[in-house]
Amino acid sequence: MGHHHVSSSAMFTNVLIVLLILTAVTVIASRIDFGPANMLIAMLIASVKASLVILFFMHMKWDTAINKIVFLSSFLFLSLLFIFTLADQATRRIDHPMHATKAKVSKEWAYPKPAMSEKH
């Protein structure tokens, strides 16, 4: 039938505990302002959690090479979508000054219908 690796219950439980701890870490880290690195740190912690789920819960650590390549390549090609669209957006302000400013608008202009609050 071919060798099928059966994980131990203890291994699954240990992974769960680490995942729950990392969730707490994510919440705590979000309370601290690292400036522009905020997003990066949050994503890094999430990536560690994701790796644990993929490697252990989804059994990828003991799976065939082709299955690993298939799943990981989806992230690789997705990153191309991220990189090019974000780079386009980010570099537009070099071309056109209007992309660099974010003008404030009044609520009436943005949502011209009877408002429900008396603030304006």
Partner 1 sequence: MSHDGHHSVVIPAPGPEFVPHTVAHHFDTPVQEFQSAKLGFWLFLATEILLFGGLFAAYFYYHDLYPETFRVGGQQLDWKLGAVNTSVLLLSSWTMAMGVRSAQTSQKQKTMLFCALTVLGAVIFMVIKFFEYKAKTEHGLFVFPHMFDNYQVDGSSNAGSLAWFTDVHNVMVDETGAPLLHGHLFFAIYVTMTAIHGLHVIIGAGLILWIMKGVAKGRFHAGYYLPVDLVGLYWHLVDLIWIFLFPLLYLVP
Partner 2 sequence: MTTHAPILDTQKAKSEQPKNYLNCSSGFWSWAGTLDHKRIGIMYLIGTGLAFLAGGLFALLVRLHLWEPNGMLFTNDQYNEIFTLHGAFMVFLFVIPAIPGSLGNMILPLMLGAKDVALPRLNLLSFYLWVMGAVLAALAIVLGGFDTGWTFYAPYSLYTNKAVVTIGLGIFLLGFSSIFTGLNFIVTTHKLRAPGLTWFRMPLFVWALYATALLQVLATPVLGITVLLVAFERLYHIGIFDPRLGGDPVLFEHFFWFYSHPAVYIMVLPAFGIISELVSVHSRKPLFGYKLIAFSSLAIAIISFLVWGHHMFTSGQSTYAMFAFSFLTFFVAIPTAIKEFSWVATIWKGSIALNSPMLYTLAFLIIFAIGGLTGVILGALNVDLHLHDTYFVVAHFHYVMMGSIALAFFAGLHHWWPKMFGVMYNETLAKIACVTIFVGFNVTFLPQFEMGSQGMPRRYATYVPEFQPYHSASTVGAIILGSGVALMVSYLVASLFIGKKAMQNQWGGVTLDWLTPTPPPLENFAHAPKVTTEVYDYSTLDLKSTQTPIG
Provide the Cα torsion 37, 40, 46, 51; round to 10°: -130
**Structure tokens given for 54:** 């993929």
Q: Which of 10, 77, 94, 96 binds partner 1 (CB under 8 A)?
A: 77
For partner 2, which stretch binds (CB under 8 A), given 1-9, 34-42, 50-58, 76-84? 76-84
Nearer to partner 2, 13 or 91 (CB): 91
Look at residue 19 and give the partner it binds from partner 1, partner 2, none, a contact being a CB closer than 5 to 8 Å depending on partner kind: partner 1
Provide the Cα torsion 55, 58, 60, 64; round to 10°: 180
Nearer to partner 2, 14 or 91 (CB): 91
**Structure tokens given for 67:** 């299955």
Side-chain-side CA neighbours of 83 within 13 Å: the count stands at: 6
65 binds partner 2 (CB under 8 A): no
**Structure tokens given for 64:** 């065939």
Look at residue 54 and give the partner it binds from partner 1, partner 2, none, a contact being a CB closer than 5 to 8 Å depending on partner kind: partner 1
Binding site for partner 2 (CB under 8 A): 66, 73-74, 77, 80-81, 84-85, 87-92, 94-95
